[in-house]
Amino acid sequence: MRRHLMATALGAGLVTVTGMPAEAASATRFGVIASTQGPPSDDADTFRRLYAEQRELYGGGPIGIRLFAGGRLPLPGERNMVGTLLTWAAERHPEETITISHKTRDDGRLRALLDWAGEHRVRLSVIYFHEVQDDWGRRRDPRAAPDVYLGTYRAYRRIVDAHPARTRTSLEKNLMWYWQHYHAGKRGADWSEFVERDDPADVVSWDTYVFPGMPPDQGRYATPDEFFRYPHAVWRTTGRPWAVGEIGTTVRGDAARFVGWVRTITAAAADPGRISPDYAGMPPARFMKWWAGPDAAGNEQGLQQVPAAVDVYRRLVAAG
């Protein structure tokens, strides 16, 4: 595969990363997260509108559907936002993988969701406790306690493996870069409390945000090593595949610098070995999903802040 070198200015230093041409096929599936977090109305109609806008922006093909629930696994047809969207996704976008996060274990509802996925030929990725470290380290939510969390994934693994829809279902663990980087050493909730050597999850994903997240006076975007050193540690310890569940940042500095960082971070996800010799042998990220909207505080995180960055990422979405 033809490659070229791209050098991206990241603050005070110059980081050189081997990049792959945008038209090349990629083992990493690049996607986009349509979100009603922040200023948009948090309802099913708004989600569908934002999803349609993002899908069109990135070429009209699949971009992924990610749904969040604060309690038990929602089921299609239920009179809530996620139940409505599950029904819509199966009817209108059966080609998409639906990622669904929840925070209350319910083995029976998981079986019911798998029954539905098998009947409708839907692909699922199931997350118990999105960004679990914050819920345990700061909130001490008993549902997120490490022993409860680990036990839930072991039970879910047995349920999925015994179900006819097992080939259409992935168990995903989701961890939080910010917590790991700034809080784990002093406040607990290190990733090792939530991942086992023989882990039942199919993939361990990480949510990675630059600004807000990194100190504002840092004045540069995250390097690939800063963002991916923890996935690297999990992979070396467990052999589990890795992914980027969310990524985003407000734009700092000029547009060209932002576009350069997008090229750098996506190229590193697709081929971690180019980061440094320490990453040799690490497989590509299974997926990377860009947050396409504001965060809860209203800070825009999407690539659409700089149209040239959308152009770069659109080609990666198509290549995946």
pLDDT score for 140: 98
**C-alpha span between 61 and 47 (Å, rounded):** 17
Query: Distance of CA 122 to CAs 27, 60, 74, 79, 157, Å?
Result: 21, 19, 15, 20, 18
pLDDT score for 26: 81
Exposure on the CB side of residue 234, measured as CA atoms within 13 A? 30
Q: Is 21 exposed, middle or buried (0-12, 13-18, 19+ CB in 10 A)?
A: exposed
pLDDT score for 217: 84
pLDDT score for 19: 42
User: pLDDT (tens digit, 9 = 90+) per residue, 18-68?
Assistant: 344 444 678 999 999 999 998 899 999 999 999 999 999 999 999 999 999
In this predicted structure, the answer to whether residue 4 has a pLDDT above a threshold of 70 is no
* Mean per-residue pLDDT, 172-176: 98
pLDDT score for 218: 87
Average pLDDT, the chain: 92
pLDDT score for 295: 93
The more confident residue out of 13 and 157 is 157
* Mean per-residue pLDDT, 276-292: 98
For the chain, the straight-line distance linking the first and the last C-alpha, in angstroms and rounded, comes to 15
In this predicted structure, the answer to whether residue 6 has a pLDDT above a threshold of 50 is no
253: left (phi over 0), alpha (psi -120 to 50) or beta: left
Query: Distance of CA 40 to CAs 35, 45, 50, 60, Å?
Result: 8, 11, 9, 22
User: pLDDT (tens digit, 9 = 90+) per residue, 221-245?
Assistant: 999 999 999 999 999 999 999 999 9
Per-residue DSSP letter, 18:
E
**C-alpha span between 270 and 316 (Å, rounded):** 10
Structure tokens at 87: 């029904």
Structure tokens at 30: 């690049």
pLDDT score for 24: 60
* Mean per-residue pLDDT, 1-15: 30
Exposure on the CB side of residue 297, measured as CA atoms within 13 A? 7
Structure tokens at 81: 């936002």
In this predicted structure, the answer to whether residue 174 has a pLDDT above a threshold of 50 is yes
Exposure on the CB side of residue 217, measured as CA atoms within 13 A? 0
Q: Is 28 exposed, middle or buried (0-12, 13-18, 19+ CB in 10 A)?
A: buried
Q: What is the pTM of this model?
A: 0.92
